[in-house]
Amino acid sequence: MVESVGIGQSEVDIGQVVDMLILMVAPGGGDGLQGVKKGIVEVADMLVVNKADGSLLTAARTTAADYKGATHLFRTKSPPVVLTSAMTKDGFIEIWDEICKYRAITSSNGDLDLRKAKQRRFWMWKHMQDLISAKVQSDDRIGNMAFEMEKALDHGLVSPRVAASNLLECLHLTFTSNGNDNV
């Protein structure tokens, strides 16, 4: 289980480490499905509206309805939306049932294996980006070239694409001059 503090977390990265992404929202949190949340709503496998009790019960029901309606607009199959309350203990069995159902379906239809394969590919490329970035930052020749490309960009002498291509060529030359011809 991975818990995110919410807004500001990269929902793409979070989605790349879990088998099921559950988005928990507070009552009233569906107001217009703000752009900040829309990205994670698009990839969530289940939505949970918490604090569905007392004076917030009506707002929680409205929020759940808002999310149910909105997910139909940009998804072919809407995720389940479950109301829950820590105060009354309502909804916990429903959440667990949905988790079990999701696991059974994705295991039997191959989606879980596909998701894990996609996650492995995502992390390979993420690590590759990190390694290249570390190499760029630690190599003087590439650092000098990066500085020159930034100056050229600032003066409108090259486009970002050309600057990046020049840096990539410099990176390649750095690897091959160090005897790493198979890079």
The residue type at 101: K
What's the rounded Cα separation, in Å, for the pair 12 and 136?
25
The pLDDT, as a whole number, for residue 42 is: 82
Tokens of 181: 């011809």
**CB count, 10 Å around CB of 58?**
11
The DSSP result for 72-89, as a single string, is HHH-SSPPPEEE--TTT-
pLDDT (tens digit, 0 to 9) for every residue of the chain, 183 residues total?
677 765 545 665 777 889 999 988 899 865 555 544 567 788 889 999 999 999 999 999 999 998 988 888 877 888 999 999 999 999 999 999 999 999 999 999 999 999 999 999 999 998 998 988 888 788 888 889 999 999 999 999 999 999 999 988 988 887 777 655 444
Which of 163, 134, 130 minimizes the C-alpha distance to 147? 163
Q: What are the residues facing 82 on neighbouring strands?
A: 48
Query: Which residue stretches of 9-139 are H helix?
Result: 11-15, 35-43, 57-74, 92-108, 111-138
The alpha carbons of the chain give a radius of gyration, in whole angstroms, of: 23
What's the rounded Cα separation, in Å, for the pair 59 and 49?
10
Which of 21, 28, 66 minimizes the C-alpha distance to 42? 21
The pLDDT, as a whole number, for residue 76 is: 83
